Structures are given as C-alpha cells and as structure tokens.
C-alpha cells in the first residue's frame, strides 16, 4: 500500500506530477537498462545546468525555507504589539495566509497534513488583524473547527502567550517562567544550557515577557474561538502527584506563588542579566541565532525593558526580521523561520561534484571561497560544555557565530574536499579546524548531536511551558552518520572515536532495518544518511546491518519506483514508516543508501533512477510540495526548496559516476564481523 499526505487519514496512490511540468518519454524506462543510464546522464546535465544557474554571484546557494503560517501570523502580531504594523505588509501576509487555508477551514503544519489547532488559531487571528470578518465564510469555517477541538483553551502554550499579549488570554493561566532561571549554574537541573540552543534562545527572552506580563489593547474580541465563552479559561485537572507531569504541574504552581513574593530588586536584576545575555548573542546582522522565533521574542523582551525602537539593538533586530520575508510574484509575503545558505551551498557543491562537474570549475571554487569565509573562529554557547576546545566550524545561516552546528561542519568539510582550490593551504587549515571541533563535540555515548554536547537532560521536555516541540538536542543517527562519513573521508575510519560512532549507529538500527531521522523525514532520511556513512567507514555491503537496510528500502519502494514518507511516521511509525507519496528528495535518499550498499544494478535502483528521470521538469528541476525536512519531529516541519534539486542530482551522479568513497584507502574488515 502506498500512502500519501493528501488528507489526514487514508492511503492513496502517489501524487503524479503534471504532464506540463515533466519531461516525458515515449515509453516508460526499463529498470537498469542502457536507456535508464542514458536518461540519467541527460537528467544530470539538465539538473547541473539548472543548479549552476541559481548560484548567487558571491558563491552561495539558498532555497526558500518554507514552514507554516504561524511564522506569518506571529510577524503580524509582533508588529501589532509594537505599533508598527503597516497596510502593505498586512495585506501581503494575509494574502499568503489565505492561500494556505484548506477546504475545511483549517491550516496544517505541513503540506497535506491534518488541520492543526494552534496553527489555525494564529492564522485566524492574523486574518482578523487584516480585516477579515468573523462572518466571512472562510473565517466561520475556521472558527467552528477551532471550537470543535476545544477552542483557545486547548492551544499550545506559545499560542496562548501571543493571545495574552493582547488580553485574549489570562497570564495567570499560563505556565510561569521566572527570569531567575538565568542564574542557575550549569550543573543545576533546568539551567538554560540544559535546553537545546534554539529553545535556550527563545526561553531567556520569554522569562522577561513572563515576568512583565504585558497587555496591549486588543483591537477586537475573540469570543468566537472559545468552546464555551462563559468559561473561556477552564481549569485543567492536575496529573497524579507521583507522575512526572504531576510533579512539574505542582512545581509550576509553586512558581506562581513565588511570583507574588519575589523581591523586586532580585527580579529586576535577573531581568537585566537576561537582557545582557540576549544582547551579547545578537549577531552582526541584528538577528539572534539566525532564526526568526528567538529574534521575535528578544525584540519583545528588550522593548519591555525600556529599549525604544530606535535603539541600535532594536533597530537592527527589526531590520533582520524583514530579511526573513520572501515576496512572491502575486504580492504575497511568506516568512522564513530561518535561512539555510551554508547548508544549501555545501550540499549543492557535493551534488555538482558528484555529478561530474570538474573540481576546479569556477563556480565550485567560488562556493568554496564563500564557505571558507563563513568559518566560525570564536567560541559560542557550545564552549560552556567544551571550554578548552578551540573553535572551528560552520553554522547553518548567513550570520550565526554563536551556534555553529556539527552537521553543517561535517558536510562543509565533505564539500571542500571535492573542490580544487587555488589556496590549498587555507582549505587544509580550515578543514583541520572543523575536524578537530567535530571530534571535540562528540557526546559521551560516542554519537553527535546538532549543536551541543550531551544535551540530554530529561527535565526540560517535562515543563508545562515546553509543549511547542523538542527542546533538547540529544545525539541523532543522521548527524552522527554525517560526522562518521566525514571522518572516513579524512582517513580516520579506524580512529577510536569514529569506531565509537559506528558502534552507536549499529546499536540504533530499528528492528525493521531502518534508522530514525531526526532532521529529515524520517526513516528514509535516517537510512539514507547512515548506510553511506557505514560503508565509507569500512562496513562491507554484505554486513547484516546493511542488508537489513537494503531489504527495508526495497520493501517500502512505491509502485511508481520512487520513495516517500509522510511526517505522520513520527507519531505512528507502524503505519507510516517509509510510506508516503514519492518525492524527489526522499527517492534520492533511498538511492544514496542503495548505491552505497553496492546495489547499483538492482531492480530497485533502476526503478528509482527511472522515476527521477521521468519526473524531472524540462528546465532540469523537480516539483516537491511535500515537506521532507524536520525542525521538531512532527511539531515543526520544513520544506527546503533546494532539497528537490541537490539530492536527486547527487543520487544520479553517483549512479552514473560511481561512489565518491569507493576508492578510500580503508580496510573494510574492521567492522565486518559486527552485528
């Protein structure tokens, strides 16, 4: 059975690309034939030309990073709160938000997904700000759906915080988040460094907001969004005292009581410390961490502490938010949660090199120049756990010196190795620093997280406040795999630290042969990341773990020859693991695993390659409305618009030109007897 994301339930055939969008053959391509290989070569040429044409003159690539309409709604709410909302921005945001509404009146958090309550509430409120009336049919449908699912009272905490800013919800009915948290020592439970960097950057400013509890006059009422307008803030029952949830609910009650007696001087000092922490982490472009949510809350917090909108910190912060806007041809305005130029550039470089673009091609050299210029050479928050580790690594965004990440650093090293640069000494020194930093960021279990070391505290996710998604950064199979693959390329396949990473990956394999994908959807991404890494590190294609992965991928291949996986696999792996409408990126991930495992001449690979060739558009691109990137598993999903280009080109290139690690001088017997 092939599943799709066209609705919240059921399984339908994969979505077919429009005939006007794709190159067609007179007859379907037979798997593994010369025609397939020729079609792959032609697809490579078209995809290469397309990708090269989209490079910026400075050397970087960046595709749109599409998430959901809460980014757009919260941008309007921020502007309303600060008194800077203008008609042009409001009209453009509303046009985009309306365009994302579904027939049943809801908004989803990913393409084709089920309606999502908090997303729908925030979109509805944003459209009310834009002038849409409650009685308008599309608004009435949304309101009825919201009421039917418990109304505002059932929304996530973050949504209710936004509503509390305008008096649409009571601050007393929100979890307490004291600013004194900023003083907790790093060894104490629930200190800010127990949180993942994205959560840490958000929580610190929100402690100020929680302490200040501001309320700006609401421009309208929202009675139509309460399940029972007579009781808009119903009391929620406490969980049993012996449970974790019950314990943290009672802790929250204690914090509410503390708020009433907290010494004003102490609280003011804590907020000032939080303000200094926030300002110290503002990037050169005015943003915070290169991502939109912390920037929004940092601006609100500083404004509440007396920073006027013309203060340089505020002025640059607001200007940075405008750079997250993508203006479309129809006049709509979409807000990116983040921007991914480093990630996109290293993946594009790898794709082009593996597709056969010469290593000294001017555009690859420009890309390498730009990546070298983005290296981070000063300590960031990661140094709290690794104070003696010298810096050296790359972040995800244009400007984010505080939070380099392990995944980008590994992939940038792999990309730089594929380029013949005019200053090899500079490249070697940058790679050496990146490898040293990645090795120094290994967690004690032998694996790697995305931003921090051993960020595995069990407590942050238990807080009543933290219901917006993953708030810690434990090691993951996909990040660990990319580091292991990079270390193998650097001749460190037999280094004890690499071996520990391999052993961890082998232990993490699912019973069905797949691996969980933390930062991509989902088991297809995890498996597509891990198998090439294990083979690069010395495991033979005959290793039992590799054979189990191959068998799983063959089992979940769609009837059309592609692969896909719905985001619902994060909630229901038994039903959705490896199942979904075929997509270009997920098909490529499966192919990367199969090719690494030595399955180049298999029927599964031939059918997958044929699917990529047949669904390619005439301009060399692929269509992919589905979300295959992950911010928080299930809670926050991403459509990286460049994924549909770089990963198919990489897979096609490796199919035609062979594996980049085939000639690595590493013995493949070291892990051959592992199980």
Q: How many whole angstroms separate alpha carbon 271 and alpha carbon 269?
A: 5
pLDDT of residue 31: 52
Specify burial of residue 316 (Cβ count, 10 A radius: 0-12, 13-18, 19+). middle
Structural contact between residues 170 and 234, judged by C-beta atoms closer than 8 angstroms = no
pLDDT of residue 673: 29
For residue 360, give Cα distances in angstroms to 309, 418, 432, 536. Answer: 48, 9, 21, 24
Q: Quick one: which H or E segment has residue 334? A: strand 333-335
> Would you list the domain boundaries of the chain?
66-229+240-335
Q: How many whole angstroms separate alpha carbon 128 and alpha carbon 106?
A: 15
pLDDT of residue 664: 52
142-166 exposure pattern, b = at least 16 Cβ within 10 A, e = fewer: bbebbbeeebbbbbbbbbbbbbbbb
Cα–Cα–Cα angle for 81, 328, 89, nearest 5°?
20
Q: Is the pLDDT of residue 231 over 60?
A: yes
DSSP labels for 112-164?
A: T--B-HHHHHHHHHHHHHTT--TTSHHHHHHHHHHHHTTBGGGS-HHHHHHHH
CB-CB neighbours of 435 under 10 Å: 21
Structural contact between residues 1 and 559, judged by C-beta atoms closer than 8 angstroms = no
Both tokens assigned to 274: 């939080």
What pLDDT, in 10s, does the model give residues 356-399? 999 999 999 999 999 999 999 999 999 999 999 999 999 999 98
Q: Is the pLDDT of residue 159 over 90?
A: yes
Q: Is the pLDDT of residue 16 over 90?
A: no
pLDDT of residue 372: 98
pLDDT tier for residue 234 given thresholds of 50, 70 and 90:
confident
Q: How many whole angstroms separate alpha carbon 324 and alpha carbon 327?
A: 10
Q: Is the pLDDT of residue 92 over 60?
A: yes
Alpha helices in 560-602 (DSSP H): 573-576, 584-596
CA distance from start to end of the chain: 31
Q: Which of the pair, 337 or 33, is modelled with greater confidence?
A: 337
pLDDT of residue 13: 32
pLDDT above 90 covers what percent of the chain? Answer: 83
What pLDDT, in 10s, does the model give residues 432-475? 999 999 999 999 999 999 999 999 998 888 887 777 778 999 99
Specify burial of residue 18 (Cβ count, 10 A radius: 0-12, 13-18, 19+). exposed
What pLDDT, in 10s, does the model give residues 250-281? 888 888 898 999 999 999 999 999 999 999 99
pTM: predicted TM-score of the whole model, two decimal places? 0.91
Q: How many whole angstroms separate alpha carbon 75 and alpha carbon 81?
A: 10
pLDDT tier for residue 11 given thresholds of 50, 70 and 90:
very low
For residue 609, give Cα distances in angstroms to 25, 107, 523, 620, 654. Answer: 14, 34, 20, 15, 11
- Any bridge partners for residue 520, and if so which? 629
Beta-strand relationship, 325-327 and 333-335: antiparallel
Structural contact between residues 342 and 393, judged by C-beta atoms closer than 8 angstroms = no
pLDDT tier for residue 669 given thresholds of 50, 70 and 90:
very low
The one-character DSSP state at 180 is G
pLDDT of residue 30: 52
Structural contact between residues 387 and 266, judged by C-beta atoms closer than 8 angstroms = no
pLDDT of residue 640: 97
Q: Is the pLDDT of residue 12 over 50?
A: no
pLDDT of residue 551: 98
pLDDT above 70 covers what percent of the chain? Answer: 93
Q: How many whole angstroms separate alpha carbon 638 and alpha carbon 190?
A: 28
Active site residue 72: no
What pLDDT, in 10s, does the model give residues 576-600? 999 999 999 999 999 999 999 999 9
Q: How many whole angstroms separate alpha carbon 117 and alpha carbon 188?
A: 35
Q: Read off the pLDDT of each residue in 599-618 and give the average, rounded to a whole number.
A: 97
Name the nearest CA neighbour of 379 among 367, 371, 370, 388: 388
Q: How many whole angstroms separate alpha carbon 37 and alpha carbon 44?
A: 10
CATH architecture, range 66-229+240-335 = Alpha/alpha barrel (1.50)
Q: Which three-class secondary structure string do you get for 227-240?
A: CCCCCCCCCCCCCC
pLDDT tier for residue 611 given thresholds of 50, 70 and 90:
very high
Which of 233-237, 340-344, 386-390, 426-430 has the least mean pLDDT?
233-237
pLDDT of residue 144: 98
What pLDDT, in 10s, does the model give residues 205-215? 999 999 999 99
Q: Is the pLDDT of residue 82 over 50?
A: yes
Q: How many whole angstroms separate alpha carbon 113 and alpha carbon 65?
A: 18
Q: Is the pLDDT of residue 665 over 80?
A: no
Catalytic hit among 344, 369, 407, 408: 407
Q: How many whole angstroms separate alpha carbon 4 and alpha carbon 16?
A: 11
Q: Is the pLDDT of residue 330 over 70?
A: yes
What pLDDT, in 10s, does the model give residues 514-564? 999 999 999 999 999 999 999 999 999 999 999 999 999 999 999 999 999
């Amino acid at each position: 059975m092939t599943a799709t994301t066209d609705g919240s339930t059921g399984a339908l055939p994969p979505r077919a690309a429009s005939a006007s969008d794709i190159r067609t053959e007179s007859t379907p391509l037979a798997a593994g034939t010369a025609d397939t290989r020729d079609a792959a070569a032609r697809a490579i040429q078209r995809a290469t030309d397309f990708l090269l044409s989209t490079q910026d003159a400075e050397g970087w690539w960046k595709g749109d990073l599409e998430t959901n309409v809460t980014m757009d709604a919260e941008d309007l709410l921020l502007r309303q709160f600060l008194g800077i909302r203008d008609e042009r921005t409001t009209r453009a945001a509303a046009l985009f938000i309306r365009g994302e509404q579904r027939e049943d009146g809801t908004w989803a958090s990913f393409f084709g997904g089920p309606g999502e309550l908090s997303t729908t509430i925030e979109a509805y409120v944003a459209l009310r700000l834009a002038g849409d009336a409650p009685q308008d049919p599309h608004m009435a449908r949304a309101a009825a759906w919201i009421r039917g699912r418990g109304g505002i009272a059932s929304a996530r905490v973050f949504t209710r915080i936004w509503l509390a800013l305008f008096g649409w919800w009571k601050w007393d009915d929100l979890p307490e988040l004291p600013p004194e948290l900023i003083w907790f020592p790093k060894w104490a439970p629930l200190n800010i460094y127990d949180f993942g960097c994205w959560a840490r950057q958000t929580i610190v400013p929100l402690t100020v907001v929680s302490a200040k509890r501001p309320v700006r006059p609401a421009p309208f009422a929202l009675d139509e969004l309460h399940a029972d307008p007579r009781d808009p803030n119903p009391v929620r029952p406490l969980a049993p005292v012996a449970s974790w949830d019950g314990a943290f609910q009672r802790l929250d009650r204690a914090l509410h009581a503390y708020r009433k007696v907290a010494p004003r001087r102490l609280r003011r000092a804590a907020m000032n410390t939080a303000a200094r922490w926030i300002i110290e982490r503002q990037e050169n472009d005015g943003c915070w961490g290169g991502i939109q949510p912390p920037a929004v809350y940092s601006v609100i917090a500083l404004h509440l502490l007396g920073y006027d909108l013309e203060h340089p910190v505020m002025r640059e912060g607001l200007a940075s938010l405008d750079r997250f806007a993508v203006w479309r041809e129809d006049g709509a305005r979409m807000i990116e949660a983040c921007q991914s130029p480093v990630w996109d550039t290293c993946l594009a470089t790898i794709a082009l090199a593996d597709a056969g673009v010469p290593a000294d091609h001017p555009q690859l050299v420009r890309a390498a120049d730009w990546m070298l210029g983005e290296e981070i050479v000063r300590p960031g928050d990661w140094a709290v756990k690794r104070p003696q580790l010298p810096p050296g690594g790359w972040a995800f965004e244009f400007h984010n010196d505080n939070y380099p990440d392990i995944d980008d650093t590994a992939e940038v090293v792999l990309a730089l190795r594929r380029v013949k640069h005019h200053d090899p000494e500079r490249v070697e020194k940058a790679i050496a620093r990146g490898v040293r930093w990645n090795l120094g960021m290994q967690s004690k279990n032998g694996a790697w997280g995305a931003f921090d070391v051993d960020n595995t505290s069990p407590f942050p996710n238990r807080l009543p406040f933290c219901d917006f998604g993953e708030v810690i950064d434990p090691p993951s199979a996909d990040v660990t795999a990319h580091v292991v693959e990079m270390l193998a390329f650097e001749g460190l396949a037999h280094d004890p630290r690499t071996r520990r990473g391999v052993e961890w990956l082998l232990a993490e394999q699912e019973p069905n042969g797949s691996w969980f994908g933390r930062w991509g959807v989902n088991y297809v991404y995890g498996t597509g990341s891990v198998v090439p890494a294990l083979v690069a590190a010395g495991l033979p294609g005959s290793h039992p773990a590799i054979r189990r992965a191959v068998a799983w991928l063959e089992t979940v291949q769609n009837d059309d020859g592609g692969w896909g996986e719905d985001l619902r696999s994060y909630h229901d792996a038994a039903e959705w693991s490896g199942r979904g409408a075929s997509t270009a990126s997920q098909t490529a991930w499966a192919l990367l695993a199969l090719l690494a495992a030595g399955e180049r001449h298999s029927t599964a690979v031939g059918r997958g390659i044929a699917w990529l060739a047949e669904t390619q558009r005439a301009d060399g691109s692929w269509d992919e409305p589905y979300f295959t990137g992950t911010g928080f598993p299930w809670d926050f999903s991403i459509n990286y618009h460049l994924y549909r280009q770089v990963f198919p080109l990489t897979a096609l290139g490796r199919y035609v030109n062979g594996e980049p690690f085939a000639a690595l001088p590493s013995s493949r017997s070291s892990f051959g007897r592992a199980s």
